[in-house]
Amino acid sequence: MAKNFIEELTWRGMIHDSMPGVEEHLLEKMRSAYVGIDPTADSLHIGHLVSVMMLRHFQRAGHKPYALLGGATGMIGDPSGKSQERNLLNEQELQHNQDAIKTQLSRFLAFDTTDENAAVLVNNYDWMKNFSFLEFIRDVGKHITVNYMMAKDSVKKRLTGENAEGMSFTEFSYQLVQGNDFLHLYKNNEVSIQMGGSDQWGNITTGTELVRRVESGKAFAVTCPLITKADGTKFGKTEGGNIWLDAERTSPYQFYQYWLNTSDEDAEKFIKIFTFLSKVEIEELVASHQEAPHQRQLQKKLAEEVTIMVHSEEALKTAITASNILFGKSTEEDLRSLSAKDFLAVFEGITQATLTRAELKEGVGIIDALSAKTGFLESNGAARRELKGNAISVNKTKVKEDLILTEDHLISDQFILLGKGKKTNYLIIVS
RNA sequence: GGGGGGAUACUCAAGCGGCCAACGAGGGCAGACUGUAAAUCUGCUGAUUUUAUCUUCGAAGGUUCGAAUCCUUCUCCCCCCA
């Protein structure tokens, strides 16, 4: 084998738990592993990225990765880590989501190579849809005792303790359905390993247990730690919601910014997980970062690498240009030096609104420009507040409450850049 | 079925006839400082035509010059007894 997969993941801090013997199992010959992805939306978000990275490393180590779309399990909902039963998705929604996710995944995994270890995409809906209830409880349910299932943390939490909400039979059966996926892949595709977040441990072991009992086979579980941030907020979330991989949902600029804003502590952790930089490269980066922390080399490198991987080199360039203009010491001069085309490209990911030229000719009060006419802020009161707090800028220049926007403020004859505080920008386009 | 407690702004949580758009804490936003960081300090955090007015305290009615606060009914939650 080209590389020791377990060793690689270990130094990257991507192993939370693994079953004894996996390392030897993997070193022996090419193996297959899978990760399950619930198609709850039509795009992956960066929370999914860890699993995807595991699969990538797996493929790079010469093994065969399987991505399993949970078309069937997505209809049930995993009780792990949830205090309430999930809303069920219908078949059409799932189909749509699956198609979109499939496209995204192909960016990370080599599906279409002729290599032996080409990635494979499967959907558990394909083998679950014609599985009758009777067949299922006879062929699968028979092998696992309820006692075993109840011992799982995900189940226990819902049955006992302070906020025991109870759980439906549907949710209870989730681990069996997921376990059956593993069994199915083991039988039909020689998949012997399931990977996932540490919250999946219980579900995965139900699978290895099934493999053992039904097939007398040996299957393994490898989990990675759940990604946390030093400040305790949830990884991959901002006020505005999830950070998606889809450029339509989260623009490359916003995406880049998310990574750039990583704290020092997290950056060191994340760069190991989300980039393919070697151990030596990372160690050098960390060292030079510590010497000059204000330069934030770690964050920059992290943001660059991940943005290129998820989007493209081009998208990164634009994101950097936009960042420099918005956060650098740029002035109105710099803004005016941009061509209309560049301007639009740079600010593509920023909240926008349009005004008519006629409106602008008459003059638009700054308060209206912030709320009533554009909806950037929720009320005139909010606009006034921010103005009083010296938070609002027009084309990078701080302004007061009495400012009237006119054609003189236009950049490239069609844009006005509004800023709130240091991090929020809005773009007015005149049509 | 009987008894008791509760429902207040994004969250927790005071208020229990006028001084309440509603203490305080957390969160959020902004300002200073900085590294687009952390910590810290400061301001703001219902709306509007902003020193005033309007709409809010589970819902609907009522008492009163005046109610988040008192009364009635309803809805929902929790606890104890059966």
Q: Which residues of A are catalytic?
A: 40, 45, 48, 82, 86, 178, 199, 234, 237-238
Report the Cα–Cα distance between both ends of chain A, in Å, rounded.
60
Q: Is the distance between the Cβ of A379 and the closest atom of strand B smaller than 7 Å? A: yes
Q: Look at strands A392-394 and A220-224 and give their pairing.
A: unpaired
Of A residues 273-302, those with CB within 7 angstroms of nucleic strand B are: 293-294, 296, 299
- CATH 3.40.50.620 domain position(s) in chain A: 5-224
DSSP A218-234: --EEEEEPPPB-TTSSB
Of A residues 58-77, those with CB within 7 angstroms of nucleic strand B are: none
DSSP structural state of residue A89: P
Q: Look at strands A364-365 and A404-405 and give their pairing.
A: antiparallel
SS3 A186: helix
State how far the Cα of A121 lies from the Cα of A298, in Å rounded to an integer.
Answer: 34
Per-residue pLDDT of chain A (431 residues; tens, 9 = 90+): 457 999 999 999 999 999 999 999 999 999 999 999 988 888 999 989 999 999 999 999 999 999 999 888 877 767 665 544 555 567 788 788 888 998 999 999 999 888 899 999 999 989 998 899 999 999 999 999 999 998 998 888 777 655 555 677 888 888 999 999 999 999 999 999 999 999 899 999 999 999 999 999 999 999 999 888 877 777 887 766 788 899 888 889 889 999 998 888 889 999 999 999 999 999 999 999 998 888 999 999 999 999 999 999 999 998 998 888 888 777 787 888 888 888 888 888 788 899 999 999 988 999 999 998 898 998 999 999 999 889 999 998 889 888 999 999 998 888 999 999 988 889 999 98
Cβ(A211)–Cβ(A186) below 8 Å = yes
Q: Is the distance between the Cβ of A424 and the closest atom of strand B smaller than 7 Å? A: yes
In this complex, the nucleotide whose C1' atom is nearest to the CA atom of residue A419 is B30
- Which positions ≥6 away from A257 have C-beta within 8 Å? A303, A319, A323
Number of neighbours of residue A309 by Cβ within 10 angstroms: 19
Protein-to-nucleotide distance from the CA of A381 to the C1' of B67, whole angstroms: 28
Protein-to-nucleotide distance from the CA of A381 to the C1' of B66, whole angstroms: 29
Of A residues 221-260, those with CB within 7 angstroms of nucleic strand B are: 231, 233, 239, 257, 260
State how far the Cα of A228 lies from the Cα of A212, in Å rounded to an integer.
Answer: 33
Protein-to-nucleotide distance from the CA of A297 to the C1' of B54, whole angstroms: 53
- Which positions ≥6 away from A201 have C-beta within 8 Å? A16, A17, A221, A223
| pLDDT digit string, tens, across residues A260-309 | 988 888 899 999 999 999 999 999 999 999 988 889 999 999 999 999 99
| A237-327: CATH topology | Tyrosyl-Transfer RNA Synthetase (1.10.240)
Superfamily name with CATH number, domain A338-430: RNA-binding S4 domain (3.10.290.10)
State how far the Cα of A396 lies from the Cα of A335, in Å rounded to an integer.
Answer: 9
Residue A166, classified by CB atoms within 10 Å of its CB into exposed (0-12), middle (13-18) or buried (19+), is exposed
Cβ(A68)–Cβ(A228) below 8 Å = no
Interface predicted TM-score of the whole assembly (ipTM), two decimals = 0.81
Q: Is the distance between the Cβ of A352 and the closest atom of strand B smaller than 7 Å? A: no
Hey, what are A420's tokens? 């709130």
| pLDDT digit string, tens, across residues A49-64 | 999 999 999 999 999 9
| pLDDT digit string, tens, across residues A188-227 | 999 999 999 998 999 999 999 999 999 999 999 999 998 8
Protein-to-nucleotide distance from the CA of A158 to the C1' of B81, whole angstroms: 28
- CATH 3.10.290.10 domain position(s) in chain A: 338-430
SS3 A426: strand
SS3 of chain A: helix, strand, coil, percent, to 5: 50, 15, 35
* Structure confidence at residue A87 (pLDDT): 54
CATH says A5-224 is which class? Answer: alpha beta
Query: Which contacts qualify for A390-397: CB closer than 8 Å, 24 or more apart?
Result: A391/A420, A391/A421, A392/A366, A392/A418, A392/A419, A392/A420, A393/A418, A393/A419, A393/A420, A394/A366, A394/A418, A394/A419, A395/A332, A395/A335, A396/A330, A396/A331, A396/A332, A396/A334, A396/A335, A397/A331, A397/A332
